[in-house]
C-alpha cells in the first residue's frame, strides 16, 4: 500500500496516540488524580513530531514500528513533562498550551510538578518493560537487548543536563541578557535539538543502522532540530493564538534572546531555508525510502504552528 | 577483616559519598548552576540508608559492591530529588532539610524544580551507563545484562505512581482529612516503603538470589520500610531541630495523618517494636552473613534523627 505523506503521518500519530493512552490508563485508585493530570497533558495532541520521527526512522531502516513504539512514546512523555514544568509559575508562567489551560492551572502547582516527575519516570518504565518482557532475551545473545539499552541511553542523555534540562537552565539564566550566537546555538542544541536527535538516533541504534545510514541520519537529525527551533522563533513573532494555541510574543515578553532578536526576521528565514536544505540533502543517499523524512523537513519549515 | 557494625556502615557511606560526588562532577559550563544545585542536595549527607541497604544486600548475597554501586547511588539520587520537590513552596513548603536551607531557598524555585528533574534523569543515566560499559556484554549471553535491566525496572516502578510519587500524591490529598489505617498504610507503602524495598530487592535481583534468600529479603524489606515510617512519625513528635535538622511537628502543622495521630504514641511505639522484630526474624534463615541487616533494623528503630 502506497500512502502519501499526510496519510502516513496520520497513521503514525494514530498508533502513537493509542499507545500513549494505553501506557497511562485511567483507573480507580487513591492516586487517580495524578493519572488524570498526566493524561491531561499527554493526550492533548500536538504534532507528535518526536515519536513520528522515531517510528519513521525505524521503518526506513527496515525495522518494525512495534519495536520502536515504547521508545517513541517515552520521548513524547519526556517532551510532555518538560512542557508541564516549563509552564509552571516559577518557570515561564504560561496559562495556555496547545490551546488549553496549562496543567498547573487545572490541577494545581503541586500536582503539576508531580505529574511531570511521573511522566519522566514512566518514560523509563515503559522502555524497561519493553526490554524485560521479551521472552528468550535472558538466555539468548545480548545483542538485541544491548541495542535497546543503548537506545535508552541516548534518550536519557538527551533529556539530562547536557541536553534538554541543561538547555532549559541556560534559557532561564539568559533571560534579559544579550547572548552570543554561539551561546544561542548551544542553548537550542541542548533544549530542543538533542531530544529531536535522539528520537531519530534511538531508532537507528535499535535497528543496527550501518555506518553510512547512521551518519546520514545523524546529520539529518541535527539540522532538523536546528531548523525546528529557528521556525519556532519565527512563529513566536509571526504566529497568532488561534493557530498556535499559545500566546505569540511570549519570548519578547520574557526578554528572551531568539534567532529573530539576534539575526532579524529576514536572515532567520534564510537560515531556516538553508538548514532545511541541509537536512534534506543529508539523506539523499538513502534514496526513495527516506522520502517521508525529506517531506517532513519541508513541512516543518512551512508550518504555521 | 572483621568490621563491627559502625565501621561497616561508615565504609559503605564513604564509598557512596565518593561515588555520588563523581557521578555529578562540578565543571565549568553554561549549565554549571544546575550542577551546583544538584550537588548541594546530593552531597548534603544524610543517613544514606537506601544505598547502604543495596550494597549490604549485594555483599550478603555474595555479590560485589562495585556492581551494585550505580544502582545504590541511583536510588539515593531518586530519594534526593523527591526531597527537593517535596520541600517546594507548592508542596510542603519547608525551609530546612538536614540542617541546611532547602534547595529552592538557595537556588530559587525554578532551579530546584530542574535540579530535581535532573537528579531523577541522572539516576537512570548512571544505571544505563553501568549496563552499556561492560565489554563483551553485547556478544555474550544476556543473563547478566538482563538482571541489571530487571533491577533498574524495580527501581523505576518503586519511584513511579504506584510507588513514591503515588504516595506523595496520596499524602498531599490526605492533608486535613481523617484517613483510615488502611489508607495510611498504603500511603506509606507507596511513599517510603517501595523505595526502601527496591534498594534491597534490586541487589537481590542483580545477584541471582535463590527463592529462599529472595523471599527472606522481601519480607525484611517490607517490614523495614514500615518500621522506618512509624519511627519517622514518632520523631516528628518527639524529635528536636538540633538533632533532626528539620522542624519537628511539621506533620501536625500540615494537618497530616500519621501513625501517631491515628494510633497514639504508645501504640505506635509498640507497633515499631513488633515490626522491627518481624524484619529481624525475616532474615534469621540467612544466618550470620545477615547480621549487618539485623543490626541496621535495630538501629533504625532506636535512631533519634
Cβ of A114 within 8 Å of Cβ of B30? The answer is no
B113 touches A at CB < 8 Å: yes
Cβ of A160 within 8 Å of Cβ of B122? The answer is yes
Comparing alpha-carbon positions, the chain A residue that sits nearest to B104 is A90
pLDDT-derived band at B298 (thresholds 50, 70, 90) equals: very high
Comparing alpha-carbon positions, the chain A residue that sits nearest to B112 is A90
Task: State phi, psi for A201 to the nearest 5 degrees.
Answer: -75, -25
Residue range A17-28: mean pLDDT, rounded? 97
Residue B258 has pLDDT above 80, yes or no: yes
Chain A residues whose CB is inside 8 A of the B128 CB are 149, 152-153, 156
Measured in angstroms, the CA of B124 and the nearest CA of chain A are apart by 7
pLDDT-derived band at B237 (thresholds 50, 70, 90) equals: confident
Report the residue of A120, A136, A184 to disrupt the B interface, i.e. the one with the largest count of B CBs within 10 Å. A120
What pLDDT shows up at residue B95?
Answer: 95
Cβ atoms of residues A72 and A16 within 8 Å? yes
Chain B residues whose CB is inside 8 A of the A33 CB are 169, 173
B124 touches A at CB < 8 Å: yes
| pLDDT tens for each residue of A126-156 | 999 998 876 555 555 677 888 999 999 999 9
| pLDDT tens for each residue of A67-104 | 999 999 999 999 999 999 999 999 999 999 988 999 99
pLDDT-derived band at B109 (thresholds 50, 70, 90) equals: very high
Cβ of A146 within 8 Å of Cβ of B145? The answer is yes
Residue range B120-137: mean pLDDT, rounded? 87
Chain A residues whose CB is inside 8 A of the B30 CB are 166, 169-170, 173, 183, 186-187
B242 touches A at CB < 8 Å: no
Residue range B151-164: mean pLDDT, rounded? 98
Measured in angstroms, the CA of A88 and the nearest CA of chain B are apart by 9
Report the residue of B33, B81, B146, B257 to disrupt the A interface, i.e. the one with the largest count of A CBs within 10 Å. B146
CATH of region B5-302: 1.10.600.10
Does the ipTM exceed 0.90? Answer: yes
Q: What is the pTM of this model?
A: 0.95
Chain B residues whose CB is inside 8 A of the A116 CB are 117
Cβ of B113 within 8 Å of Cβ of A91? The answer is yes
Give the count of Cβ contacts less than 8 A between chain A and B: 182
Chain A residues whose CB is inside 8 A of the B116 CB are 117
Q: Which three cell numbers stand for residue B231?
A: 519511627
Amino acid at each position: 500500500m502506497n500512502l502519501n505523506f499526510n496519510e502516513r503521518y496520520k497513521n503514525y500519530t494514530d498508533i502513537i496516540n493509542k499507545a500513549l493512552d494505553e501506557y497511562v490508563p485511567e483507573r480507580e485508585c487513591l492516586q487517580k488524580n495524578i493519572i488524570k493530570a498526566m493524561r491531561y497533558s499527554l493526550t492533548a495532541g500536538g504534532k507528535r513530531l518526536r515519536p513520528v520521527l522515531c517510528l519513521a526512522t525505524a521503518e526506513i531502516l527496515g525495522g518494525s514500528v512495534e519495536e520502536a513504539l515504547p521508545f517513541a512514546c517515552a520521548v513524547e512523555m519526556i517532551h510532555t513533562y518538560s512542557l508541564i514544568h516549563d509552564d509552571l509559575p516559577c518557570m515561564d508562567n504560561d496559562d495556555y498550551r496547545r490551546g488549553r489551560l496549562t496543567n498547573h492551572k487545572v490541577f494545581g502547582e503541586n500536582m503539576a510538578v508531580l505529574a511531570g516527575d511521573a511522566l519522566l519516570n514512566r518514560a523509563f518504565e515503559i522502555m524497561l518493560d519493553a526490554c524485560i518482557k521479551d521472552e528468550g532475551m535472558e538466555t539468548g545473545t545480548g545483542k538485541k537487548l544491548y541495542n535497546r539499552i543503548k537506545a535508552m541511553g541516548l534518550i536519557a542523555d538527551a533529556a539530562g543536563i547536557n541536553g534538554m534540562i541543561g538547555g532549559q537552565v541556560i534559557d532561564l539564566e539568559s533571560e534579559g541578557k544579550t547572548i552570543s550566537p554561539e551561546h544561542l546555538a548551544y542553548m537550542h542544541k541542548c533544549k530542543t535539538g538533542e531530544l529531536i536527535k535522539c528520537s531519530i538516533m534511538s531508532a537507528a541504534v535499535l535497528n543496527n543502522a550501518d555506518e553510512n545510514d547512521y551518519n546520514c541520519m545523524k546529520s539529518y537529525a541535527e539540522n532538523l532540530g536546528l531548523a525546528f527551533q529557528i521556525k519556532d522563533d519565527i512563529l513566536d513573532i509571526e504566529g497568532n493564538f488561534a493557530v498556535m494555541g499559545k500566546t505569540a510574543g511570549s519570548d519578547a515578553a520574557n526578554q528572551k534572546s531568539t534567532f529573530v532578536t539576534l539575526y532579524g526576521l529576514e536572515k532567520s528565514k534564510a537560515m531556516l531555508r538553508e538548514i532545511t536544505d541541509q537536512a534534506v540533502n543529508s539523506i539523499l543517499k538513502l534514496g526513495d525510502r527516506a522520502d517521508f523524512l525529506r517531506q517532513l523537513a519541508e513541512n516543518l519549515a512551512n508550518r504555521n504552528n
